[in-house]
Chains A and B, each alone.
Chain A
Amino acid sequence: MRNRPPVGRALWKTLALWMIPTLLFLMTAGLILTVQSLREVADSAYDRSLAGAIRAIDLRISTESGGLGIELPYPLFESFQATADGEVLFRVSTSDGLVQIGDALLPEPPKLTLDEVIFYDAAYFDRPIRVAAFMRPLELPLYGADGGQNLIIEVAETTGSREGFMRTVLRRTMMRDIAAVVAAALLLALGLHAGLKPLRALRDRLDRRSSDDLRQVDPAGLPREVQPLVQSLNRLVDRHRLQGEAQRRFIEDASHQLKTPLAVLSAQIDLASRSDDPARMHEILGSMREITARSARMTSQLLSLAQARNAVLWGEGVRDRVSLPMLLDAVVRLHIGAARKRRIILEIEAEPTLAALRAPEDMLFEAVSNLVDNAIAASPRGSRIVLSAQQSGSSTVIEVRDFGPGLPADLLARIASGQRFISGKSAKPKGSGLGIAIVQQIMKSMGGSLVLANRGGGGLSATLTIPQTES
């Protein structure tokens, strides 16, 4: 037993394999972009309130007394602390480090430029903080200083609240994206289900059919993508219907052909069983043997005929390159025994240079062989049969000539008209005419023809004309 090839991947899997990674990739890329822009937005919003705090402190700084004095903007700090949802730290100092008010443990600021607020991230007791720093010159140097002093104001807040804000927004974005992916998958499933529905209906229709229902499948209502499939299915169904018909015809022919000899046999058995004369008995047995031999031959001919009909139907048969001289030689060698029993001579007329013919070799062999078989049966003892092959235009012509009595004109006419001339009534040893039917079927499968004609000098000429289909 041959291993069954594995069933192909399910359609939904294929689609999902294409869609889901793409969607996930797009989602991740979108998320990264969102995080970046979100951080910028959050920073600029939160930084503005830090800058506001710096300005508020700056306005409340007094140096008139020669020292540094600040009136802290407590309400501002309070509201600030409330909205920032964290800790607010500040420090006011001079650039030479002589004076420091506020949180002395804030990290040192980076290099500052005058009159400009800068923002930076830092750590305060291992907690991340955001710092705004501002530096301006003092108009009057403080007491004890040499002058040219700068004032530095720093305000910092813990970043917990802005992280919280980011997390919330990100969580929402991700929820939205996941919802989109799930929705896409659902839509995909629904779409597939709906798209395949006509196919399931077709399957049910085909399953419900009885085994002998070989009507064509109605393509109406089926998606356009499926139409070619339906068409090939219909072609297959047609072929099977024709084959079924051919088979029925074969069985009819066969039973028709075999019934007669069976009837004869049964009559002979009846006769023999009532006969007491051994000589008569022997005679009857002899003719019974003849009948069985003929029936056997007929059966194998019927099989050949069925094969030839199938070949017509399915365009079967590998197109071999057939060397005609070799083929004729093989046919002669097969029949030489039977021919020589009656001292018949078989001859071949074929140029060895004859071009090879593209045809199914065993079919062609069967056809020529049947003609030779008929010719031997028709030839008188010691007669001659000539097999010839030649090129005629674009066709190859094979002829089998005998020197027997030929065929009656009405029979020739019936053969030529393609009429089925299996009569079944003849129990004569001349044969059933199946041989000719076989040759005709084989020629039909090759697109060739069989012509039978009585020759002027006596005898029959059987000519096969096969078109060259060089491909």
Chain B
Amino acid sequence: MRLLLVEDDHELASWLMQNLVQRGFQVDWADDGRSAEHRVLSEDFDVILLDLGLPTISGAQVLSRLKSKGNDTPVLVMTARDTLAQRVALLRDGADDFMGKPLAIEELEVRLQALIRRSHGRARGIFTCGPLVYDQASQRFTLGGQNLSFSPREHAVLRLLIQKQGDPLSKQQILDRLVSMESDLNPEAVEVIVHRLRKKLGEGAIQIVTLRGVGYLLEEGDAA
């Protein structure tokens, strides 16, 4: 797993690198935004660990430049000055994840692994949520290796949910994305579809959580 660490503080960078190397990452290090941008565009990394407070070009600028150039290497942003509003803005600007300094190395590792898995999965068209797996190529869902069969509507809704894992989907968002399929779909119909999906997914391992006024969230159940 090739990781580019972009951090201008040499002491922190050195400790982080030791930690990450110990955990099996192959770490390259850039200490300013310009060289980071250059390396990302010319080499191939699995994930970028980006500090926001960089000299010459800021981390946010590096991020927006990479995204505007269509580079989709996943980026985990770390910063010492994190207000909540800034976090939201960064995620909106294309950061894939966010951590405030100081970092707990275990949490960092887990998040980096998740990002890499997700991006590789996206590239191969495979989405997983615990034991539930969706293969985009064959358009098939499996739960613990068992094939699941759904009606076209159920299939479409579950596909949306697994593609947007961790982010609740509102009924309206679901309707907006299904409107090409059906014209007579209404919010109640979405409820019915979700109800049937819950039944088919069974109790425990995978659940669709209802957040009233927000939307639906697909996640691993407590049993997993």
Contacts and interface: CB of A to CB of B under 8 A. Distances in A.
Interface residues of A, number: 33
A296 B101 contact: yes
Interface string B42-76: 00000000000000000000000000000000000
Given A300-B82, A343-B222, A332 B87 contact: no
Interface range, B side: 20 to 34
Interface in A299-352: 299-300, 303-304, 307, 328-330, 332-334, 336-337, 340, 343, 345-350
A3 to B, nearest CB: 22
A347 B212 contact: yes
B81 A292 contact: no
Interface stretch (B4-12, B33-41, B148-156, B213-221): B213-221
Given A303-B83, A307-B83, A334 B104 contact: no
A366 B83 contact: yes
A362 interface: yes
Contacts of A297: 100
A422 interface: no
Interface in A149-190: none
Contact of A366 (B80, B84, B104, B219): B84
B102 interface: yes
Judged by DSSP, the binding face of B is: loop
B104 A336 contact: no
Interface in B169-197: 170
B209 A340 contact: yes
B81 A333 contact: no
Contacts of A299: 80
A333 B83 contact: no
Interface of A is mostly: helix
Given A303-B83, A336-B166, A343-B222, A365 B88 contact: yes
Given A296-B102, A336-B166, A330 B88 contact: yes
Contacts of A330: 88
A418 B17 CA distance: 46
A381 B166 CA distance: 18
Interface of B: 80-85, 87-88, 100-102, 104, 166-168, 170, 209-214, 217, 219, 222
15 contacts: A293-B102, A296-B102, A300-B81, A300-B82, A300-B100, A334-B88, A340-B209, A340-B217, A345-B209, A345-B211, A346-B211, A347-B211, A362-B83, A365-B85, A366-B83
Interface of A: 289, 292-293, 296-297, 299-300, 303-304, 307, 328-330, 332-334, 336-337, 340, 343, 345-350, 361-362, 365-366, 369-370, 387
